[in-house]
Amino acid sequence: MEVGSKAPDFTLPSTVGEKVSLSDYCGKKNVVLSFYYHDFTSVCENQVCQFRDRLADLRTKDVEVLSVSVDSIHSHTVFAEQNKIESPLLSDFNKDVSCKYDVLYDFGDEKGVSKRSVFVIDKTGTIKYKWVTEDSPGNEPDYDEVEKAIRDISGNCESTDESCC
């Protein structure tokens, strides 16, 4: 997936009690799609909490944060409760979405985990920003760069017409 390409749609179980699809936000909200390695790991917890701490401000900019890992929805639920995460944590347990976004890799003995990565997707479903760690699961995105990418999004389709996406 490259900047300027259409983001693949998906539907995944979430911690908000129902399945969430990227297309749910088409014409309505910009999306920060944040992939992380695993629940209950220090760097991943920091990544999810960085977006948690920015969520109120992001939502004033018509942005929703969707965080994805290959952990089960049960793990996500406990992780969200312990860290007071209000935005949806999505379970890519079957690894389909990580594969679609080309962020699935093997780390050590663990086969098929999500690379730490962030995509900013506008209301038309177009990828406007991409960051993927290539060398270390300990690297984190530049959160200020993510916010800059959000500020740069302007003039996108505001309708709910599906032709927008």
Q: How far is CA 101 from the centre of its chain?
A: 11
List the catalytic residue out of 44, 99, 164, 165: 44
Residue 52 has pLDDT above 90, yes or no: no
In the three-class reduction of DSSP (H, G, I as helix; E, B as strand; rest coil), residue 162 is classed as helix
Q: Stretch 114-132: mean pLDDT, rounded? A: 95
User: Between 76 and 77, where is the model more confident?
Assistant: 77
In this prediction, residue 135 carries a pLDDT of 67
Q: Give residue 56's pLDDT band: very low, low, confident or very high (50, 70, 90).
A: confident
Residue 64 has pLDDT above 70, yes or no: yes
d(CA 134, CA 38): 17
Please identify which residue in the block is written with the tokens 């409760």.
Answer: 81
d(CA 128, CA 163): 18
Give the up-direction half-sphere exposure of residue 122: CA atoms within 13 A in the CB hemisphere: 21
Q: According to the per-residue pLDDT averaged within each range, which of 4-18, 100-114, 134-148 is highest? A: 4-18
- Nearest-5° Cα angle at 13, 122 to 112: 85
Name the H helices within 42-142: 42-60, 73-83, 96-100
**Mean pLDDT, the chain, integer:** 85
Weakest-pLDDT range from 59-68, 87-96, 105-114 = 105-114
Structure tokens at 53: 């701490």
d(CA 2, CA 153): 16
Q: Does the annotation count 44 as an active-site position? A: yes
In this prediction, residue 156 carries a pLDDT of 44
Q: Stretch 18-46: mean pLDDT, rounded? A: 87
Residue 157 has pLDDT above 70, yes or no: no
Q: 1-8+27-136 — its CATH code?
A: 3.40.30.10
Q: Are 9 and 22 in contact (CB under 8 A)?
A: yes
Q: According to the per-residue pLDDT averaged within each range, which of 40-44, 98-102, 147-151 is highest? A: 98-102
Residue 65 has pLDDT above 60, yes or no: yes
Residue 162 has pLDDT above 60, yes or no: no
In this prediction, residue 42 carries a pLDDT of 62
Dihedral over alpha carbons 3, 73, 133, 131 (to 10 degrees): 20
User: Between 40 and 32, where is the model more confident?
Assistant: 32
Report the DSSP beta bridge partners of residue 6: 126
Give the up-direction half-sphere exposure of residue 31: CA atoms within 13 A in the CB hemisphere: 29
